[in-house]
Amino acid sequence: MSVDTAIVEYYPTIKDLPEGERPRERLEHYGAGALSAAELLAIILRVGNRDENVIRLAQRLLTTYGGLVGLAQAPFSELIEIKGLGPAKATQLKAAFELGRRLLVAAPHERPTVKSPADAANLLMMEMGLLEQEHLRAVILDSKNHVIKIHTVYIGSLNTAVVRVGELFREAIRLNAAAVIVAHNHPSGDPTPSPEDVHVTRQIVEAGKLLSIDVLDHLVICQARWVSLKERGLGF
């Protein structure tokens, strides 16, 4: 039995479900947290046709792309070619993921405190792990390691020829910061620091000493993994 066949047999159409088991009604009664990822996607994808098996479509998308992270990264041009999706539903899907991404950027936490590399990674990984291009960011901290701001310094490959170290500290100086944690993502999915990453880190650490701003770490972020250059003794 193929995966699609199994899904067809397991999930009836929306109209065949008892009213209390339909995703929209379940959300109204129990809250969004009680629904599976497939049910939440089905609510977003449904455009009024109660005969359409959107739960099966949602589950098929999750299976095809290996979960929500993979689905969020899927190109629009590819999504619109999927049977049962098309431009309208692909647009709804992309809009929902973008709203979630912007929410994470706007308020990842209320003034979180960073006490370890893991704290910083958890703060950044969910959003940065989805990026398709390299971003260099500075987590700007006060004297008690409270996050003042997460600032995007640069977008593009991390290369000393184009990354100006002074730009990384500009916002930290303006905000009278005590310390920064530098982070960038590897869209390839491999968080192993490159020689260029180590070289840039060394320059950043030296510049921080001159400016009396502590550079606490440099993290390389991927979807589900991260590396601390400080813990590995690279560039520090």
CB 160 within 8 A of CB 195: no
pLDDT tens, residue by residue, 67-119:
887 888 888 999 999 888 889 889 999 998 888 777 766 655 556 889 999 99
Please state whether beta strands 214-221 and 147-155 pair in parallel, antiparallel, or not at all (unpaired).
unpaired
Strand partners, 139: 150, 181
Position 86, amino acid = G
Residue 235 belongs to some domain of the structure:
no
State whether 62 and 114 are in the same domain.
no
State whether 79 and 94 are in the same domain.
yes
**Per-residue model confidence (pLDDT) at position 173:** 94
State whether 87 and 141 are in the same domain.
no
Residue 190 belongs to some domain of the structure:
yes
pLDDT tens, residue by residue, 132-191:
888 999 999 999 999 988 898 888 766 544 567 888 899 999 999 999 999 999 988 899
State whether 60 and 80 are in the same domain.
yes
pTM over 0.75: no
Residue 236 belongs to some domain of the structure:
no
**Per-residue model confidence (pLDDT) at position 27:** 82
What angle is formed at CA 71 by the lines to CA 66 and CA 77, rounded to 5 degrees? 130
Q: How confident is the model at residue 48 (pLDDT cuts 50, 70, 90)?
A: very low
The residues, any chain, with a CB within 8 Å of residue 69's CB and separated by 6 or more, are 129, 130, 223, 224
Q: What percent of the chain has pLDDT over 90?
A: 36
State whether 118 and 165 are in the same domain.
yes
Name the one residue in this structure whose structure tokens are 């704290």. Answer: 119
Give the number of domains in the chain.
2
**Per-residue model confidence (pLDDT) at position 1:** 36
State whether 182 and 97 are in the same domain.
no
- Give me 108's structure tokens: 């990842």
Q: How far apart are CA 55 and CA 58, in angstroms?
A: 5
State whether 115 and 220 are in the same domain.
yes
State whether 164 and 186 are in the same domain.
yes
SS (H, E, C) 99-132: HHHHHHHHCCCCCCECCCHHHHHHHHHHHHCCCC
Position 137, amino acid = R
Domain span at residue 34 reads: 3-105
pLDDT at 5 over 60: no
What's the CATH code of the domain at 91? 1.10.150.20
Out of 105, 128, 156, a domain closes at: 105
Neighbours of 21 (CB within 10 A): 12
What are the Cα distances from residue 212, in Å, to 117, 146, 152, 194? Answer: 21, 18, 21, 27
